[in-house]
A and B are shown apart, each in its own frame.
Chain A
Amino acid sequence: SQTIHQWPATLVQPVGSPLSLECTVEGTSNPNLYWYRQAAGRGLQLLFYSVGIGQISSEVPQNLSASRPQDRQFILSSKKLLLSDSGFYLCAWSGAGGSGNTIYFGEGSWLTVV
């Protein structure tokens, strides 16, 4: 069966520090991978998605970046965090190519920038 893991679960970082959130998927190959964020009092916002290794699409201009160095690994990064980057980050995957495919989410990562 397929599983998705992301870490760390909780992170408190000072303004201006770097960020790295990692996500891995097991039990499937060539998944579509996503990073979503929920900012305080808001719904889920798509940040990045990837349909293959090295292929990253960004939906929102920001100081975050994403990379997919391996088929089932997706990394969210920042060189310098802002206060507004605080929120709940969710990694997710779906089967390749299907609009009817369910999206499966990781456990989430709480980021607090202080």
Chain B
Amino acid sequence: ILNVEQSPQSLHVQEGDSTNFTCSFPSSNFYALHWYRWETAKSPEALFVMTLNGDEKKKGRISATLNTKEGYSYLYIKGSQPEDSATYLCAGWDAGNMLTFGGGTRLMVKP
């Protein structure tokens, strides 16, 4: 199982602010990194799947980058909106076909 860590644990921003958070993982034994958006009492929703060093993915105002050599991924949200409030989870796949989730970053966007 990978040791996947996310920071910060929680984040409060004002509407319109741009923000980013970090997911770190061991660079050895890495196969793929996933980002999910999770609203309370709902199913986590897949945002991105990234596998290659230098990958950049974008979905509307949300984007993510991947650095497999140093073992981190950043998730960026441009111009945060109240509806972006959620917990953002990253998860790493290892060689054993296991997906391990980080503890999540809880984002709260104030109107």
With both beta carbons as reference points, the residue of chain B lying nearest to A104 in the complex is identified as B46
Are B103 and A102 closer than 8 Å at their CB atoms? no
Interface residues on chain B, size class: 20 to 34
Output the least CB separation between B47 and chain A (Å): 10
The residues in A between 89 and 114 inclusive whose CB is less than 8 angstroms from any CB of B are 90, 94, 97, 99-108, 110
Q: Which stretch in B12-20, B64-72, B78-86, B92-100 binds the other chain?
A: B92-100
The distance in angstroms between the C-alpha atoms of A108 and B42, with both chains bound, is: 7
Highest count of chain B CB atoms <10 Å: which of A43, A49, A103, A110: A43
With both beta carbons as reference points, the residue of chain B lying nearest to A45 in the complex is identified as B101
The distance in angstroms between the C-alpha atoms of A104 and B46, with both chains bound, is: 8
Are B31 and A46 closer than 8 Å at their CB atoms? no
Are A105 and B44 closer than 8 Å at their CB atoms? yes
A90 with B34, Cβ < 8 A, contacts A43-B102, A59-B1, A99-B97 known: no
Say which residue of B1, B31, B100 sits within 8 Å of A100 (CB atoms). Answer: B31
The distance in angstroms between the C-alpha atoms of A71 and B19, with both chains bound, is: 42
Check: B11 CB closer than 8 A to any chain A CB.
no
Contact partners of A107 in chain B: CB under 8 A: 42-43
Say which residue of A42, A46, A90, A97 sits within 8 Å of B98 (CB atoms). Answer: A46
**11 interchain pairs (CB within 8 A)?**
A36-B101, A43-B102, A44-B91, A46-B1, A51-B97, A94-B99, A99-B32, A99-B93, A101-B49, A105-B43, A106-B43
Check: B89 CB closer than 8 A to any chain A CB.
yes
The distance in angstroms between the C-alpha atoms of A114 and B76, with both chains bound, is: 41
Contact partners of B91 in chain A: CB under 8 A: 44, 103
Against A, the Cβ 8 Å flags (1 = close, 0 = not) of B35-69 are: 00000011110100101000000000000000000
Are B103 and A100 closer than 8 Å at their CB atoms? no
The distance in angstroms between the C-alpha atoms of A59 and B100, with both chains bound, is: 11
With both beta carbons as reference points, the residue of chain A lying nearest to B38 in the complex is identified as A44
Say which residue of A42, A100, A105 sits within 8 Å of B32 (CB atoms). Answer: A100
Known: A44-B44, A46-B1. 14 other contacts (CB 8 A): A32-B97, A43-B103, A46-B99, A46-B100, A51-B97, A94-B99, A99-B95, A100-B31, A100-B32, A100-B51, A102-B46, A103-B34, A103-B46, A108-B41
